Amino acid sequence: MQHAIAIGKVSAATGVKVPTIRYYEQIGLLPPPPRTEGNRRTYDRKDAERLTFIRHSRELGFEIDQIRTLLSLQDRPDQSCGEADVIAKARLAEVKEKIASLLALEAELERMVEGCSHGRVETCQVIEILADHGKCRHHQHEQ
Amino acid sequence: MQHAIAIGKVSAATGVKVPTIRYYEQIGLLPPPPRTEGNRRTYDRKDAERLTFIRHSRELGFEIDQIRTLLSLQDRPDQSCGEADVIAKARLAEVKEKIASLLALEAELERMVEGCSHGRVETCQVIEILADHGKCRHHQHEQ
DNA sequence: CTACATCCTCCAGTGACTATAGGAGCAAGA
DNA sequence: TCTTGCTCCTATAGTCACTGGAGGATGTAG
């Protein structure tokens, strides 16, 4: 309760939007903070750090449930960090896969765009390639 | 009505799941097909082609609204394909950006995983880097 | 005292599906 | 003919991680 920070301040400090902070409290990712007499949430430095941790984890693409695990690990520093390692490695594998699929996708889009004659739709490679999957090289990727 | 294909068959043929086909009909991406006496949807070759077009577009990451535009262009082949080109180019730019951000992300995850001493959480780079944003190189990317 | 910013709760909406409940239709084997 | 089991139907709710709006209370600067 040393530094009673308002939700807007903590939002500005951490880069997490105000409704998102309330949402994180709602789903139990952030503990419910004490309130002022006027019922306003008051945060301290530790909460801000936790939010930074969450935001950074989200930026790295971790899911909320994974962040929950990561946070609980952080709370008990004497434990083995094996679980954190497993989560990070899994995410790394996902990212590598996604990069590969996006590179294939990039190649196909390049081909489409380059093939566009800027004429009628009839002769347009963009529409043509979308319509006929046989005309395309890549096959396996999502998003 | 030549080839009256059941929804399950068209699903298997195009790789679009049955509930997804019904969903596409609901949002007006696929026209409501004729029904049998027993109220079952019957598709033809043209519908299957349209579904293939949609699936391929989704695989390339186009949004439903963009696909709507792309489909309407396909329906009127005498029009200019400039719009299709714009959509494809925009998607290509997105993909390039995403690749760049994922490469940065990959680098950071590599650093985390390599830095893990497989000991206590106290000394774990994974948790450390997540907690302290200052320890990290990258700053701007989403997902 | 008066604006105005910030905060509160509650509820609904986003995109693109996916799942479930509860029932009807239909083809093939016993 | 009956039954088994598959496919199909509708309608509704759930997913993920937020985001937005309504309608009202509180706090602060001039």
Residues in chain B with CB shorter than 8 Å from the CB of A131 are 49, 52-53, 56, 74
Higher pLDDT, B83 or A2: B83
Contact present, B110 and A91 (Cβ < 8 Å): no
Which three-class secondary structure state does DSSP give residue B128? Answer: helix
- A73 forms bridges with which residues in the sheet? none
Q: List, for residues A35-79, the tens digit of each pLDDT value.
A: 999 999 999 999 999 999 999 999 888 999 999 988 988 888 777
Using CA atoms, how far apart are residues B56 and B106, in angstroms rounded to an integer?
27
Mean pLDDT of all residues belonging to chain B: 85
Judge: A119–B80 Cβ closer than 8 Å, yes or no: yes
Instruction: Reply yes or no on whether the pLDDT at B1 is more than 70.
Output: no
The nearest CA of chain B is from the CA of A40 a distance in Å of 26
Query: In the Cβ-directed half-sphere of A55, how many Cα atoms lie within 13 Å?
Result: 22
Among A69-73, B5-9, B32-36, B113-117, the range scoring the smallest mean pLDDT is B113-117
Establish if B46 touches chain A: CB-CB under 8 angstroms: no
Instruction: Reply yes or no on whether the pLDDT at B134 is more than 90.
Output: no
Compare CB distances from B81 to A82, A92, A116 and report the shortest one's residue: A116
- Which among B110, B103, B134, B136 has a CA at the least distance from the CA of A85? B110
Residues 3-42 of A with CB under 8 A from B: none
Using CA atoms, how far apart are residues B142 and B103, in angstroms rounded to an integer?
12
The nearest CA of chain B is from the CA of A124 a distance in Å of 6
**Residue A59 contacts strand D, CB under 7 A:** no
Judge: B124–A81 Cβ closer than 8 Å, yes or no: yes
- Which among B23, B97, B98, B15 has a CA at the least distance from the CA of B57? B15
So what's the pLDDT on residue B141? 39
Using CA atoms, how far apart are residues B143 and B141, in angstroms rounded to an integer?
7
Higher pLDDT, B122 or A67: A67
Using CA atoms, how far apart are residues B120 and B116, in angstroms rounded to an integer?
10
Residues in chain A with CB shorter than 8 Å from the CB of B84 are 116, 121, 124, 126-127
Question: Was domain B1-79 assigned CATH 1.10.800.10?
Answer: no
Contact present, A102 and A110 (Cβ < 8 Å): no
CA of B100 to C1' of C20 (A): 40
Among A46-50, A80-84, B118-122, the range scoring the smallest mean pLDDT is B118-122
Judge: B120–A80 Cβ closer than 8 Å, yes or no: yes
Judge: A73–B131 Cβ closer than 8 Å, yes or no: no
Contacts of B5 (CB under 8 A, 6+ apart): B13, B42, B43, B44, B47, B48
Domain limits, chain B? 1-79, 83-143
The nearest CA of chain A is from the CA of B10 a distance in Å of 16
Instruction: Reply yes or no on whether the pLDDT at A140 is more than 70.
Output: no
Q: What is the DSSP string of A85-138?
A: HHHHHHHHHHHHHHHHHHHHHHHHHHHHHHT--SSBGGG-HHHHHHH-GGG-S-
Instruction: Reply yes or no on whether the pLDDT at A16 is more than 80.
Output: yes
Contact present, A66 and A48 (Cβ < 8 Å): no
**Buried-exposed string B86-107: b where 16+ CB fall within 10 A, e elsewhere:** ebbeebbeebeebbebbebbbe
Contact present, B24 and B30 (Cβ < 8 Å): yes
CA of A77 to C1' of C13 (A): 40
Using CA atoms, how far apart are residues B14 and B21, in angstroms rounded to an integer?
10
Instruction: Reply yes or no on whether the pLDDT at A23 is more than 80.
Output: yes
- Phi first, then psi, for residue B5 (nearest 5°) are -95, 135
Higher pLDDT, B29 or A2: B29
Supply angle C-alpha A99, A104, A110, rounded to 5. 120
Judge: B121–A81 Cβ closer than 8 Å, yes or no: yes
So what's the pLDDT on residue A111? 85
So what's the pLDDT on residue A123? 72
Q: What is the dihedral of CA A79, A81, A86, A88, to 10 degrees?
A: 130
Q: List, for residues A85-122, the tens digit of each pLDDT value.
A: 888 898 899 889 889 888 988 888 888 888 776 766 67
Using CA atoms, how far apart are residues A67 and A61, in angstroms rounded to an integer?
10
Q: List, for residues B86-101, the tens digit of each pLDDT value.
A: 888 988 998 898 898 8
Compare CB distances from A130 to B70, B98, B118 and report the shortest one's residue: B70
So what's the pLDDT on residue B111? 86
The nearest CA of chain B is from the CA of A34 a distance in Å of 23
Instruction: Reply yes or no on whether the pLDDT at B112 is more than 90.
Output: no
The mean pLDDT value for B126-131 works out to 84
Instruction: Reply yes or no on whether the pLDDT at B142 is more than 60.
Output: no
So what's the pLDDT on residue B9? 94
Q: List, for residues B41-83, the tens digit of each pLDDT value.
A: 999 999 999 999 999 999 888 899 999 988 988 888 777 778 8
Higher pLDDT, B129 or B21: B21
Place of tokens 């993909």: B95
So what's the pLDDT on residue A75? 82
Place of tokens 């730019």: B93
Judge: A122–B76 Cβ closer than 8 Å, yes or no: no
The mean pLDDT value for A76-84 works out to 79
Instruction: Reply yes or no on whether the pLDDT at B125 is more than 60.
Output: yes
